[in-house]
Amino acid sequence: MRVWIDADACPKAAKDLIVKFALKRKFEVVMVAGQAVAKPAFAIVRLIVVPSGMDAADDYLVEHAVPGELVICSDVPLADRLVKKGVAVLDPRGREFDERNMGDRLAARNLFTDLREQGQVGGGQATYGERDKQAFANALDRIISRLSRSEP
């Protein structure tokens, strides 16, 4: 079992939760980033810094993550690529990406991108709070349990 993290954009609180789960359940964590980020000092955690460039970390994740593994990311186009490959994907706020919701998630993302470009809406996501952490922990537990049951 392996959990990948799109580490450039993942909140520290979510990364900490993943490491806590990994230590308890004995799985590997691979953080992929386009620049150096803080890596927890545990042998089960690896940090891969990819060469800089547009979507380099995304491309690395798509190339290396396989079905039966989980990727943590909030990037909707990246999630779409991973879901099409059969990889489980969860955002740091506890929302799972899957075949059933991917079309809606892409459409919403594209709509908000267009509205931001037109100046009709501003900013990004709200602050990462306790409710987000709890939703993420619950979803992480559920998905890791599901993936562990399906291992040979």
pLDDT per residue, tens digit, the chain (152 aa), is 899 999 988 999 999 999 999 999 999 999 999 988 889 999 999 999 998 777 899 999 999 999 999 999 988 899 999 999 999 999 999 999 997 876 677 666 665 566 666 676 666 667 889 999 999 999 999 999 999 987 65
Residue with tokens 């900013």: 123
Cα pseudo-dihedral 83, 89, 95, 99, rounded to 10? 20
pLDDT of residue 53: 75
Residue with tokens 């979803």: 139
pLDDT of residue 4: 98
CA atoms within 13 A on the CB side of 79: 23
pTM of model > 0.75: yes
Largest CA distance in the chain: 51
- The domains located in the chain, with CATH, are 2-149 (3.40.50)
Q: In whole angstroms, what is the distance from residue 123 CA to residue 135 CA? A: 23
pLDDT of residue 75: 87
pLDDT of residue 1: 86
